[in-house]
Amino acid sequence: MSSTRKGKIDPARSLAILWRTHEPISRSAGPGLNVERIVRTAIEIADAEGLEAVTMRRVSESLGVGTMSVYTYVPGKTELLDVMVDTLYGEMRHPADVPDNWRARLERIAWENLALYRAHPWLLRAESSRPVLGPNLIAKYDYELGAVAEIGLNDVEMDAVLTLLLGHVKSAARAAMDVAALERETGMTDGQWWQSHAFWLEKFMKSGSYPTAARVGAAAGEAHGAAYEPEYAFEFGLQRVLDGISVVISERSAVAGSAGANRTETGPATAG
């Protein structure tokens, strides 16, 4: 469990807010306070200062209201995080001009999700492996399933394809976030850091003890200007994920074609 979500969790409390089954009114805070305003304020704080800066007290201070007024609308930080995450899902584009090719559709989904993480890096920590099923999460899931509908996969495989794809996106986004964090903490880019170690790396590699590492490391460093290039890693991995999915689709198509051929061959004999 993420360190941002502590204690016993009651999903019913988050669901009530997400689906707006009950909209409380705080008389002490005035008519301008509501769930939407609270959540937007929390997202602004997280974007500017990180997820750790988001507390019920900090949100109330930013809104200029008492902390108990915020609690009237959102019972705790766990529920606040759930609504923050679902709100961002609702901001993702669901364009109607869907590409004809399943591969192009999945590529678009991957880049859309990566863009979301780039805009809100804290989302990587706020998301849970046990998500609360808010309206925007369900809409996102339904839209993304459309990319792999009617291409020969069964329902379980469709879900697994999305899990695989989005897992790659999240992994790549987390790696890029780590690179950015190191640059902030050290004041050096990845390229600058490796350049400062170039003398020692060259000395150790020239010993001849690590010929493959020396050759490949030099090639990668020259290509990327650093030991790691997030954009290249994401695109390379994405294409390999799609390659793997294409194998499954081809296998399912072959099985379906074989079954159809068998039915055609045995049909007349059975009829006779």
- 266: pLDDT confidence band, cut at 50, 70 and 90? low
Q: What is the mean pLDDT of the chain?
A: 89
Say how far apart CA 101 and CA 99 lie, in whole Å.
6
Residue 86 domain boundaries: 11-90
| pLDDT for position 114 | 98
> How large is the angle between the packed helices 230-271 and 155-186, nearest 10 degrees?
180
Among 130, 38, 54, smallest CA distance to 87 is for 38
In a shared domain, residues 148 and 22:
no
Q: What is the pLDDT of residue 269?
A: 47
When divided into structural domains, the chain yields a total of 2
Residue 71 lies in a domain: yes
The separation between CA 249 and the C-alpha centre of its own chain, rounded to angstroms, equals 24
In the chain, the percentage of residues whose pLDDT exceeds 70 is: 90
Question: Among 112, 168, 174, which residue's Cα sits nearest to residue 143?
Answer: 112
CB 97 within 8 A of CB 48: no
CATH number at residue 111: 1.10.357.10
Say if residue 113 is in the same domain as residue 74: no
Between residues 269 and 4, the one the model is more confident about: 4
21 in a structural domain? yes
Query: Could you tell me if residue 115 is inside a domain?
Result: yes
For 115-156, what is each residue's pLDDT tens digit?
Answer: 999 999 999 999 988 889 999 999 999 999 999 999 999 999
Tell me whether residue 242 is in a domain.
yes
CATH of residue 58: 1.10.10.60
User: Rounded distance, CA 102 to CA 99, Å?
Assistant: 7
Q: Report residue 272's pLDDT band, with 50, 70 and 90 as the boundaries.
A: very low
User: Rounded distance, CA 221 to CA 232, Å?
Assistant: 12
Query: What HEC string does 168-181 produce?
Result: HHHHHHHHHHHHHH
> Are 82 and 116 within one domain?
no
* In a shared domain, residues 113 and 161: yes
Question: Residue 170: inside a domain, yes or no?
Answer: yes
**Residue 254 within any structural domain of the chain:** no
